[in-house]
Chains A and B, each alone.
Chain A
Amino acid sequence: MALLEIRNLSVEFATHSGKFRAVDGVDVTVDEGELLAIVGESGSGKSVSMLALMGLLPWTATVTADKMEFDGHDLRKISARARRRIIGKDITMIFQEPMSSLNPAFTIGWQIKETLRKHTDLNRSQRQDRAVELMRQVGIPAPEKRLQAYPHQLSGGMSQRAMIAMALANKPKLLIADEPTTALDVTIQAQILELLTDLQRDAGMALVLITHDMGVVAETVQRVQVQYAGQRVELQEVDGLFENPHHPYTAALLAALPERATEKRLPTIPGVVPGQFDRPHGCLFSPRCRFADARCIAERPRPASADLGYALCHYPLIDGLPTGKETAA
């Protein structure tokens, strides 16, 4: 059984100039102990969909879903109180900016122990022991001393480790990491990614990694969900995705990577991600897609079959060529 199952999730924001649909009919399924990546550019709705799951969106957002189930609980009907019991215990999240995710007014130790106090019935000394153990688990040297430290006394990498320690405090079943290494240097990024994957493997915890970095995806995860303009456009195993992408957007994105370039000039994707005012009527990628035709502009595509990576495309690609065009023409 899936640990987390979301069907047809949509999020709309009320803005001064009308409604803005940030997430548009996205499905997410995470199995127990699985490692899933959600990849997309800015505006792809990758963070918003996870924040909606956590119930962390501002009041301007309207969240709708056909199904939103975590570990047998229906998160749509659940009370705020019951939700708080799950969020922060069974589902936790770490963010891009470790420096601003920690409260600068309290010590690291206080903040870790606070989550323990909220969700467990450990006593004072047990909490201290557990905090030290957690700090050791995430590879922070001299944990007893670092528990006394304030966030500004730690470097970016150490802060992110502390955030992970805090997220792990209650042995969560699902950890959502929102661009956990984007603000860090490459050598530190490698350390943090390794820490996260080790924890996922050893603790049997499911991990959702939100990122825009294809390199990180290739090296760490098992399954990849590609999002574009608030929609899921493809879902595949990582090897298949890089070898044989089925959605034109995924294919174009991979081709645009400098390290995959065969010539000096890089292949590009023309145009920009559609915003609030220029959302196409049919396929959202159609204005930028080199395979698009009249049908793509007029009609919204449906996801293809599983072996075509659920590609949200009228003509899913196989080996870089569109299929099914003859029948429509």
Chain B
Amino acid sequence: MTDSASQPVPQQTFKAPPSRLREFWSSFRENRGAVIGLFVFLGFLVVALLAPVLAPYAPDAQYRDALLVPPFWQEGGSTRFLLGTDALGRDLLSRLIFGARYSFFIGLIVVTLATTCGVLLGVIAGFAPTWLDTLIMRLMDIVLSFPSLLLALVLVAILGPSLLNAMIAIAIVLQPHFVRLTRAAVLTERSKDYVTAARVAGGRKLRIMFRTVLPNCLAPIIVQAALSFSTAVLDTAALGFLGMGAQPPTPEWGTMLAESREFILRAWWVVTFPGLCILVTVLAINLMGDGLRDALDPKLKRS
């Protein structure tokens, strides 16, 4: 036993609890796949932003002397075209780099469109009288009851095949998920005491809907937005492949796949690389989305 009386009174200092952002990051970091996904995603983002700097050639420049040149490591390939060329003599690497731009552009627009409409409708449905709520939700059920790609195809067929129309169609197909999610979150938050307290304090309905309740429903919406990003990329590629999305010569990955379909046996690289790009992007975003869900959704938190 030590003689404690002779010791000076030590100040009891305590660590402050971690801030929200730090807690989010430390739980996000725990998921290794999510971190890898995040870095791959950021890598693609950089590539997309710096496309004109990074790409060795213009995406639509044709080199008639080099049709279907294989990648450099294969016999007959050269370092002039690192990943080879397609049937029109265009550099595959440059086209893929510019393709990343399209994919991000598409993902961003589609997700913004779908989220804005979906969240708006969802909040309205969550606060609306029964008849309006039923009307909105049944409409969404109808949209959801179609196979999503088929519905997108039909919409594009009506609107006419173009990249913009494809994006609108995909946004419409994705948006019911946001409506449902937002409505469910709104309904749980709505019954909480702080919302009643805001009403007692004299808050008007619009303020309560968008200032009080909505910010507390954002976590699942962010997760859904991240996952929808990958769906958007995938669906646009699919529409492009079916000839209903971006039109040639746009270097969109799905369209590139469609263009080179006939060379699949002769020149493996023209189909493999665009396909790989789609795969890696979608996988990275999905991994990242899963990590976001783990970190943001308290219902799934482990401790």
Contact = CB atoms under 8 A, between A and B. Distances in A.
Contacts of A329: 5
B75 to A, nearest CB: 53
Contacts of B4: 294-295, 298-299, 328
Contacts of A16: 23, 26-27, 30, 303
Nearest to B6: A294
B14 A278 contact: yes
B16 interface: yes
A275 interface: yes
A85 interface: no
Contacts of A294: 4-5, 7-10
Chain A interface secondary structure, helix, strand, loop or mixed?
Answer: loop
A79 interface: no
Nearest to A328: B5
Contacts of B23: 16-17
A180 interface: no
Nearest to B15: A277
Contacts of A305: none
Contacts of B17: 17, 275-277
A56 to B, nearest CB: 15
A117 interface: no
B299 interface: no
B147 interface: no
B79 interface: no
Contact of A17 (B2, B9, B14, B26): B26
Contacts of B18: 17
B12 A280 contact: yes
B295 to A, nearest CB: 9
B6 to A, nearest CB: 9
A287 B303 contact: no
B10 A297 contact: yes
Interface residues of B, number: 19
A15 interface: yes
B204 interface: no
A277 B16 contact: yes
A299 to B, nearest CB: 5
A262 interface: no
Interface residues of A, number: 24
Contacts of A17: 17-18, 23, 26
B192 interface: no
Given A13-B303, A17-B23, A295 B5 contact: yes
Given A277-B15, A277-B17, A294-B5, A15 B10 contact: no
A118 interface: no
A60 interface: yes
Contacts of A60: 302-303
Contacts of B8: 294
Interface in A13-29: 13-17
A281 interface: yes
A285 to B, nearest CB: 12
Contact of B7 (A15, A286, A298): A298
A295 B10 CA distance: 10
A294 B18 CA distance: 29
B12 A14 contact: no
Contact of A278 (B7, B15, B27): B15
Nearest to A287: B12
Nearest to A59: B302
Contacts of A276: 17
Nearest to A275: B17
Interface string B267-303: 0000000000000000000000000000000000011
Nearest to A286: B12
15 contacts: A13-B303, A16-B23, A17-B17, A17-B18, A275-B17, A276-B17, A277-B17, A278-B14, A279-B14, A280-B12, A286-B12, A293-B9, A295-B5, A298-B10, A299-B4
Interface of B: 2, 4-5, 7-10, 12, 14-18, 23, 26-27, 30, 302-303
Given A297-B10, A298-B10, 4 more contacts: A13-B303, A16-B30, A280-B12, A297-B9
